[in-house]
Structure 1
Amino acid sequence: MLFIFIAKKILGMNEEEALKLRGHYKVFANGFLSFPINLPGTAFHSSLQGRKSAIKMIKDVFKKRRSSKEKANEQDFIDYLLQEIENEETFITEEIAVDLIFIVIFAAHENTSSTMTRLFKYLTEYPDVLRQLKEEHENILRNREDKYAPISWIEYKSTIFTHKVTNETLRLANIASGKFRKVLKDVEINGYTIPKGWTMVVCAQSIHLDANKYENPLEFNPSRWKDEELHSVSKTFVAFGGGNRMCVGANLSKMQISIFLHYLMTSYRWKVSNKGNITRQPNLNFDDGIRIQVLEIQRENNKEIITQVEGV
């Protein structure tokens, strides 16, 4: 669902095209953190092939958009990039633009979708958290004049408990298994020297699951977060990295999750029929998915009418 949305906003793709592109991204993601042995049959080779196929589809969109004489009714990201490429003072070439689109699509959906999936497990296992979430978002509807209006920026900023749930999910899920950094000078840590020029990996789990930093670290407890901590950079919360290399999509990811939760809480109910098995390859993966029965809510005369969503 999230990939289809991102592919439409960035490349103007329809659902069929987006799902085809998604297949190439899945192949890429399954092997992009693997031993760099570029031989047929290896995960790394498959990952490169997946990237190659995705890049070809993106280039085809560029080619089609350049040759099209008709202007789209609604501009998407690729339209802005094409305008920038034609600017004589820009440093952006088509090759740079294609690479940019490839990584933006990956960053905008991969970790966020895994976080949303993991969140379903937590909401099923912690009913009190689910109750508080529902209450927060139902209050938004009660305070609106138009019950069917889209969520506003002010309403999004007011969902304090939702932000706490998001942070706690990111802390426990540790979607990104490691952050790579190049050592710029010799660094001594606990008697060990990390030489200049080495590449090191910062392991989020060692920080997020440290009992010295979080009380009962394996417990899903959104209330542990204080309001002032929700949007601050912290050495004990590195879900989006830190320092000058902080993830530029951090706020976008949080907003996507919050908006998803708003409509889930106010328009739907669900039952988890299969909680699924979680593995790491090395990123978070759900081998057989999490199977969910989705029920839609319709409100008439202050009453809720619940119906089964077909095919879900």
Structure 2
Amino acid sequence: MESPVFLLLCLSIITAFFFLLFLRSSRHRRLRLPPGNLGLPLIGETLQLISAYKTENPEPFIDERVNKFGSIFTTHVFGEPTVFSAELETNRFILQNEGKLFECSYPSSISNLLGKHSLLLMKGSLHKRMHSLTMSFANSTIIRDHLLDDIDRLIRLNMDSWTDRIFLMEEAKKITFELAVKQLMSFDPGEWTESLRKEYLLLIEGFFTIPFPLFSTTYRRAIKARSKVAEALSLIVRERRKEMMMMMSRSDEDDRKVIKKDMLGALLGGDDGFSDEEIVDFLLALLVAGYETTSTIMTLAVKFLTETPLALAQLKEEHDQIQAKKNKSSKALEWSDYKSMPFTQCVVNETLRLANIISGVFRRAMTDVNIKGYTIPKGWKVFASFRAVHLDQKNFKDARSFNPWRWQNNSGTSTSSLNVFTPFGGGPRLCPGYELARVELSVFLHHLTTTFSRRR
């Protein structure tokens, strides 16, 4: 039989919990919250959001609520009340006030799988420093002088192995994963990279799930895959650390020059003294960023082009002209070739706008935030939807049509704001690999259009 003291303690805790919940809900009722629907208890509208984003057309989740409540609305997803913004000015306000009014905060399904030391979850001065480091490995100069040759070589190597029929999405994922592993850790394609990629497929599937292993087999598989990926990366980190210590102990300057100058080398050789766990989390998340998003954009670019024959023909003509100027024995692209692809950049922009590989960003209000006559309570999540802005007729004429020509004179935009087009986010958390992604897609399209013809 339980003691009266224990029962009284339990009753007191439960009473206090519901009292605090009542006070919190009473406070929220006094605030002018954005209109919306919190859905079912605990899970809110999470299931509707997940099911929408597993289709080819996830827009209805936002479209239906914008039509009903307006461009700023309240919902409840991934266990938390969340304010969605489908408006350009509000999105800009959220991005510009990073670290002041808002801080980065993602659903636990994403943060648990990426790891607490990933760039996405870093804050303050550490994030600023590591973001700068990441950009230093993916800027135009580095791409031109060090990465372009590998990008070109690995894309051609993969395409040379293609048969008459391929599953393009799978091949694109293979290409981008091999590129990411090469750029971050200097590994060439092989059995190790392919086995690691298969675990990544399972890991990524768990991002937008309910993060309870008992109730979600997808999330449970993702957690197991995450452990395998971390174990594989930990082994590489330990081996490289040992290798670098041996190299640095040698007196011969030429021996020291052999040290690999990649992201892993920079993390190990810096002054921060990162642990193996911190480096593994950092690399794991960068591999996700460089792999999943770019492969998706490659696949959708081909889809949009094959549905728009005039665009495909003009793109092919541009790349045939580039190839015609080159030595017949050389297919390799140079930086000057990349800078001679004006229509390709229009295709890249339009694919990014229409595909929205980064559909938006999550933030958390650090204090009560007043905007557009509403109050976002402290602690609430916000989601700035780039997808909604890119597909808004007020910002782009015929917004849901693939029209690369709109970018030739920016004639397809009805606003002069530079912030209307944010395929890689913005503010201090602008995707550090944005230029690298554009180059990889451009090189991919070059070899695709000059090597293969479309077969119906």
TM-score category, normalised to shorter length: 0.7 to 0.9
Residue 137 of structure 1 is matched in structure 2 by 319
Which deviates more from structure 2 when the two are superposed, residues 34-43 or residues 53-62?
Answer: 34-43
Give me the whole-angstrom Cα distance separating, in 2, the residues matched to 1:185 and 1:226.
42
Residue 47 of structure 1 is matched in structure 2 by 222
Matches for 1:90-105 after TM superposition, within 5 Å: 90-105=272-287
Give me the whole-angstrom Cα distance separating, in 2, the residues matched to 1:131 and 1:38.
49
Q: Which of 385, 389, 412 is equivalent to 1:207?
A: 389
Residue 341 of structure 2 is matched in structure 1 by 159
Mapped contact 1:233–1:242 kept (Cα < 8 A): no
- Is it true that 1:175 corresponds to 2:175 in the alignment? no
Residue 177 of structure 2 is matched in structure 1 by 3
Residue 442 of structure 2 is matched in structure 1 by 258
Equivalent position amino acid for 2:419 in 1: K
Between the aligned residues of both structures, percent identity stands at: 34
Q: Which of 27, 32, 37 is equivalent to 2:202?
A: 27
Mapped contact 2:391–2:400 kept (Cα < 8 A): yes
Give me the whole-angstrom Cα distance separating, in 1, the residues matched to 2:351 and 2:326.
29
Residue deviations 1:245-271 (CA, integer Å, cap 9, x gap): 111111111111011111112222232
Mapped contact 2:362–2:383 kept (Cα < 8 A): yes
With normalisation by structure 1, the TM-score equals: 0.76
Which deviates more from structure 2 when the two are superposed, residues 185-194 or residues 16-25?
Answer: 185-194
Deviation at 1:146, TM superposition (A): 6.0
- Is it true that 1:192 corresponds to 2:366 in the alignment? no
- Is it true that 1:80 corresponds to 2:80 in the alignment? no
Give me the whole-angstrom Cα distance separating, in 2, the residues matched to 1:172 and 1:24.
29
With normalisation by structure 2, the TM-score equals: 0.53
Residue deviations 1:67-117 (CA, integer Å, cap 9, x gap): 568999893636614xx5355x33433222211211111111111101111
Residue 426 of structure 2 is matched in structure 1 by 242
Give me the whole-angstrom Cα distance separating, in 1, the residues matched to 2:282 and 2:417.
26
Q: Secondary structure at the match of 1:37?
A: coil
Q: Secondary structure at the match of 1:271?
A: coil
Point out where structure 2 has 5 or more consecutive residues left out of the alignment.
1-174, 248-254
Deviation at 1:52, TM superposition (A): 1.4
Matches for 1:279-298 after TM superposition, within 5 Å: none
Point out where structure 1 has 5 or more consecutive residues left out of the alignment.
273-312
Mapped contact 2:364–2:379 kept (Cα < 8 A): yes
Residue 216 of structure 1 is matched in structure 2 by 398
Equivalent position amino acid for 1:164 in 2: C
Larger Rg: 2
Q: Report the CA distance shift for 1:40/1:15 in structure 2 as closer, same or farther (over 3 A).
A: farther
Q: Report the CA distance shift for 1:176/1:85 in structure 2 as closer, same or farther (over 3 A).
A: same
Q: Report the CA distance shift for 1:186/1:157 in structure 2 as closer, same or farther (over 3 A).
A: farther
Q: Report the CA distance shift for 1:80/1:20 in structure 2 as closer, same or farther (over 3 A).
A: same
Equivalent position amino acid for 2:229 in 1: A
Give me the whole-angstrom Cα distance separating, in 1, the residues matched to 2:235 and 2:215.
26
Name the count of aligned residue pairs.
Answer: 267
Q: Report the CA distance shift for 1:216/1:86 in structure 2 as closer, same or farther (over 3 A).
A: closer
Mapped contact 1:25–1:54 kept (Cα < 8 A): yes
Residue 106 of structure 1 is matched in structure 2 by 288
Residue 121 of structure 1 is matched in structure 2 by 303
Cα RMSD over matched residues? Answer: 2.8
Give me the whole-angstrom Cα distance separating, in 1, the residues matched to 2:409 and 2:258.
41
Mapped contact 2:358–2:425 kept (Cα < 8 A): no
Which deviates more from structure 2 when the two are superposed, residues 190-199 or residues 110-119?
Answer: 190-199
- Is it true that 1:225 corresponds to 2:407 in the alignment? yes
Deviation at 1:149, TM superposition (A): 5.0
The structure with the greater share of residues assigned to helix is 2
- Is it true that 1:16 corresponds to 2:194 in the alignment? no
Give me the whole-angstrom Cα distance separating, in 1, the residues matched to 2:327 and 2:418.
38
Equivalent position amino acid for 1:17 in 2: W
Q: Secondary structure at the match of 1:33?
A: coil
Q: Report the CA distance shift for 1:116/1:233 in structure 2 as closer, same or farther (over 3 A).
A: farther
Mapped contact 1:138–1:266 kept (Cα < 8 A): yes
Residue deviations 1:220-268 (CA, integer Å, cap 9, x gap): 0011114679xx9932222111122111111111111011111112222
Residue 55 of structure 2 is matched in structure 1 by none
